[in-house]
Amino acid sequence: GQQLNQSPQSMFIQEGEDVSMNCTSSSIFNTWLWYKQDPGEGPVLLIALYKAGELTSNGRLTAQFGITRKDSFLNISASIPSDVGIYFCAGREPGTSYGKLTFGQGTILTVHP
Amino acid sequence: NAGVTQTPKFRILKIGQSMTLQCTQDMNHNYMYWYRQDPGMGLKLIYYSVGAGITDKGEVPNGYNVSRSTTEDFPLRLELAAPSQTSVYFCAISEEMNTGELFFGEGSRLTVL
């Protein structure tokens, strides 16, 4: 099936720093989503993107739907300790529905106070 | 309003045993999903349902069965547990059909020895 390449695999940053991560695919997607997973919990939706070029913010988080429709980016500004967790990108291919998403492998974020 | 409730949270099985993972939602959403999450991997769709009485296979359905007799419940059954089914299982729901915006339960961690 479709594969998503998410990078970096892990990040260790200082509190207050900005964070960038991205996700690329070999084929186009109609939808890109970013989820965060805290330890022992299920993923929680952060941002959903539905149009190529779309730039959407949610507090300190900003995500973009790449113009080629094959990539997406997530930025976190002024990181804080509670940003720690695993961030997953997910995409939906044209012709699929019902929440049949393809997930990236995740980016593990560690924030040092 | 608990959202999505999964039971049990943890379970250890012996090879060849069977068990059912329960998933119940109180949000009256039509669309329900079962995903599995392996270490360092993204989530993979096992089965999904678009409403009571309707289920379909996802990306990795082998070794699993589901049923959807009510809107609220979507149990996942493992008939002959194998070590390859050691994973964390997430049930998810969605309100819309094509958005990919999923609401996840807290997960069930299954170990097969």
For residue B40, the chain A residues in CB contact (below 8 A) are: 105-106
For residue A40, the chain B residues in CB contact (below 8 A) are: 106-107
pLDDT tens-digit readout, B64-105:
999 999 999 999 999 999 999 999 999 999 988 777 899 999
Sheet hosting strand B76-78, strand order edge to edge: B4-7, B19-25, B76-78, B64-66
Residue A59, min C-alpha distance to chain B (Å): 18
B26 pLDDT more than 80: yes
A1 pLDDT more than 70: no
B5 reaches A (C-beta below 8 A): no
Share of chain A above pLDDT 70, in %: 96
Cβ contacts from A onto B, under 8 A? 76
What does the pLDDT read at residue A29? 92
Work out the average pLDDT over A2-22. Answer: 93
A95 reaches B (C-beta below 8 A): no
> In which band, very low, low, confident or very high, does the pLDDT at A36 lie, cut at 50, 70 and 90?
very high
Q: Is A55 exposed, middle or buried (0-12, 13-18, 19+ CB in 10 A)?
A: exposed
Nearest 5°: the CA angle A52, A108, A102 is 40
Q: Are strands A4-7 and A55-58 parallel, antiparallel or unpaired?
A: unpaired
B1 pLDDT more than 60: no
For residue A42, the chain B residues in CB contact (below 8 A) are: 4, 90, 92, 104-107
A6 pLDDT more than 60: yes
pLDDT tens-digit readout, A66-92:
999 999 999 999 999 999 999 999 999
B15 pLDDT more than 70: yes
